[in-house]
Amino acid sequence: MSDAALELDGLTRRYGEREALSEVSLSLAGGHTLVVFGPNGAGKTTLLRVLATLLRPHAGSVRVLGRELPEESWAVRGRVGVLAHEPLLYRELTAFENLRLHARLHGVGAARVGELLEAVAMGARAHEPLRTLSRGMVQRVAVARCVLHDPELLLLDEPYSNLDPAAVELVARLIGGPGRPGEPGASGARTRVICSHDPSGGLAQADVVLGLLAGRPVLLADAEQVDPQEIAGLYR
Amino acid sequence: MSGVQELAPPPRSERPRDALAQTGLWRTVGALLRKELLVELRTLESVPGMSLFALSTFVVFHFALDRGSVEGDLAAGILWVTLLFAAILGVNRLFVTDAEQGGFDAFLLAPVDRSAMFIAKALTLLAYLALLELVAVPAFALLLLGSPLGPALPGLLATLALGDLGVAVIGTLVGALAVQTRARDLLGPLLALPLLVPIVIGGSRASSSLFEHAHRTGPAARWLLALGLYDLVFGLIAYAVFDFLLED
């Protein structure tokens, strides 16, 4: 039995005729961090959505946490925490109401909602509608939502966007972050896949680096073997 | 370094691997329904619009027909067609918040029975229709019947309940389908109207006798039965296919 948390072999995903991901193959051990680099439209978000079971692969095989996708998606849902570009929160509900809804969907007790809101310093604004909060505050609530059910795998799409340095420090305690390479999650070593545009910051957190260009993997290596200049080259 | 304490993980019994068993269907439906009603209460995007549409339509009919009162088939037709178009407004809005604010993705990531969303949305639409009729039926009686409904009310409520159930089921199905497309505002009504026409026919036929001034009788039983069967068939179809509508 493999101890890999992620195993991709020839993963291909299309939107119509266009291949958003083409022949992506990699393996990531449990507790390790994969950082994905690439310019806009390179396929980073599509990769996260496939791993999250939100998109079906069109070719190749995908195993997440030991389960084959899409056949065993049901066994992966609830074990994955997703932090996307969109916060996946309702603007008219308060931070507390949003997290309470997610807690109910994931079978998590209400006490953890309050704890997490305090952990991201949103306790004082917990009962205000999200539409009245700044983008940084909403991002902090989204991070709390992402780890609410203590997932084994975190899928993070530019997790520190809109956050000031103090907020980065706060959320890094929950999802790991710059200056905290490989830090385990609250309940042990979490596997992470992070999409990043920051070569040095992303590299500092990575165990494995994947570079994508137009959906194709052009760089796949252990982080210590990667020069930041190689990553910067993806954006030229 | 901030002063925030490290969080302990949630207790073992609350971990996601156990959540599917813990988070029962009706508990999930309750959570989603509460969310739907809270969002509507704060945005007032659906029910006020539906009610105003129905009121405006009755006013237009009142002046356009230019008669003291209507009865029988004509009265039933006006009521059901107006309710149908008002319901379409609600159907079009039913999934918009979820699609625009990531609610679909959040729901799909949770280890819950996906039928919960269908049931919660259908109950939401049912609640909207009940609120709509709370406003629309008295206005209809005042503006077009010219007299209180009186003894016809229980029969009308039974007919409306069966009609609403069908509209809620079909509307939820169509709303989920249309919201995934770019032309959802157009596609929703185009898909819904043909499927809802049998409900309008059944509802009108069942209730026309309730609006007779001279020989008022109860609702036509065979049309009530037809409405009930139509609701049942579409309820089963919706239950069977709704999961697939949410899939990629």
Residue A26 to residue A207: CA distance in whole angstroms: 13
| Of the partner residues A78, A121, A173, the one whose CB lies closest to the CB of residue B111 | A78
| Of the partner residues A56, A86, A186, the one whose CB lies closest to the CB of residue B248 | A56
Contact B45, A96 (CB under 8 A): no
Q: Is the pLDDT of residue B213 over 80?
A: no
Chain A positions in Cβ-Cβ contact with residue B93 (cut-off 8 Å): none
What is the per-residue pLDDT across B49-67, written as a single tens digit (0 to 9) for each?
Answer: 999 999 999 999 999 988 8
Residue B77 to residue B211: CA distance in whole angstroms: 11
- Three-state DSSP class for residue B215: coil
Tokens of residue B59, six digits: 């006013």
Say whether B39 and A173 touch across the interface (CB within 8 A): no
The range of the structural domain enclosing residue A137 comes to: 80-150+153-189
Using CA atoms, how far residue B194 sits from A54, B104, B126, B187, B201, in Å, is 32, 27, 20, 12, 11
Say whether A186 and B8 touch across the interface (CB within 8 A): yes
More confident residue, B93 or A2: B93
The rounded radius of gyration (Å) of the Cα atoms in chain B is 21
Contact A163, A195 (CB under 8 A): no
Say whether B248 and A54 touch across the interface (CB within 8 A): yes
Nearest Cα residue to B202 out of B83, B95, B117, B113: B83
Nearest Cα residue to B187 out of B175, B199, B201: B175
Say yes or no: B6 contacts chain A, CB-CB below 8 A: yes
What's the ipTM?
Answer: 0.89
Say yes or no: B68 contacts chain A, CB-CB below 8 A: no
Confidence class for position B35, pLDDT limits 50, 70, 90: very high
Say whether B38 and A118 touch across the interface (CB within 8 A): no
| Of the partner residues A88, A118, A119, the one whose CB lies closest to the CB of residue B106 | A88
What's the pLDDT score for residue A117?
A: 96
| Alpha-carbon gap: B102 to the closest alpha carbon of chain A (Å) | 4
Tokens of residue B43, six digits: 């945005």
Q: Please report, for chain B, the start and end positions of each structural domain, with discontinuous segments joined by +.
A: 24-246
What's the pLDDT score for residue B3?
A: 39
Q: CA nearest A109 in B: which residue?
A: B14
pTM of the shown model? 0.88
Q: Is A137 inside a domain boundary? A: yes
What is the per-residue pLDDT across B186-208, written as a single tens digit (0 to 9) for each?
Answer: 888 999 999 999 999 999 999 99
> How many domains are contained in chain A?
1
Among the ranges given (B8-17, B57-66, B168-177, B239-248), the one the predictor scored with the smallest mean pLDDT? B8-17
User: In which residue ranges of chain A is pLDDT below 70?
Assistant: 1-2, 177-188
Q: Is the pLDDT of residue B239 over 90?
A: no
Confidence class for position B216, pLDDT limits 50, 70, 90: low
Using CA atoms, how far residue A39 sits from A175, A200, A211, A212, B164, in Å, is 23, 15, 9, 8, 50
Chain A positions in Cβ-Cβ contact with residue B27 (cut-off 8 Å): 104
Q: CA nearest B5 in A: which residue?
A: A119
For residue A101, give the CATH number of its domain: 3.40.50.300
**How many Cβ contacts (< 8 angstroms) between chains A and B?**
134
Contact A83, B106 (CB under 8 A): no
CA-CA-CA-CA torsion sign (A79, A81, A84, A88): positive
What is the per-residue pLDDT across B103-121, written as a single tens digit (0 to 9) for each?
Answer: 889 999 999 999 999 999 9
Say yes or no: A174 contacts chain B, CB-CB below 8 A: yes
